[in-house]
């Protein structure tokens, strides 16, 4: 499947985004270098600018729904869903969704656990874009894509604000294009 390597950001926007990325050592566990997007998102217009770059790269996928991963993926996911006139489906940590839920396991670079989706929202033939703030090892996005496929829905692609290239998470995401706003 085609993999989109680098969206074209103008130099000023790229420098602005990169300069506001904050690294926090040993968070959430020892040995992890956390990439914090909060300072970038705090800048007026930053989210809109990010979505303006990503939207044209995924609009041709003709998605019906964005599956946004808890919790920072909700930010980009909601904005993309709005721009693409698509539904928003929240992929949450256990105990955060009311009513009947479907549960699946995930493993990422520093932990494993379960995620949940409201039962019946992902169904046969639905075209989905999996969205999260960051692509590291790809474990969470991989698990979400596997869940989508288990419901006979289609994974049309993946979108992220930041990709840590050295961890090669995109190698696990083969169903559709992988789009990242920034790389480090």
- From the list 55, 109, 127, 149, the catalytic residue is 109
Residue 29's alpha-carbon distances to 25, 34, 109, in angstroms, are 9, 9, 10
Residue found under tokens 């050295």: 166
72 is catalytic: yes
109 is catalytic: yes
- From the list 18, 55, 72, 83, the catalytic residue is 72
Q: Tell me the pairing of strands 33-36 and 101-107.
A: unpaired
Q: Which residues are catalytic?
A: 72, 109
């Amino acid at each position: 499947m085609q993999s989109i390597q680098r969206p074209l950001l103008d130099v000023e926007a790229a420098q602005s985004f990169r300069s506001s990325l904050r690294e926090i050592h040993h968070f959430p566990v020892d040995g992890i270098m956390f990439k914090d997007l909060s300072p970038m998102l705090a800048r007026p217009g930053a989210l809109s600018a990010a979505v303006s770059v990503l939207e044209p790269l995924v609009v041709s996928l003709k998605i019906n729904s964005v599956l946004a991963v808890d919790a920072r993926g909700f930010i980009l996911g909601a904005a993309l869903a709005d721009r693409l006139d698509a539904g928003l489906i929240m992929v949450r940590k256990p105990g955060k969704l009311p009513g009947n839920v479907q549960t699946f396991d995930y493993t990422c670079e520093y932990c494993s656990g379960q995620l949940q989706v409201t039962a019946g929202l992902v169904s046969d033939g639905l075209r989905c874009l999996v969205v999260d703030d960051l692509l590291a090892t790809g474990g969470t996005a991989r698990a979400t894509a596997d869940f989508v496929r288990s419901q006979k829905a289609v994974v049309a692609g993946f979108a992220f604000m930041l990709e840590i290239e050295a961890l090669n998470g995109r190698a696990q995401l083969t169903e559709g294009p992988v789009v990242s706003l920034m790389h480090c």
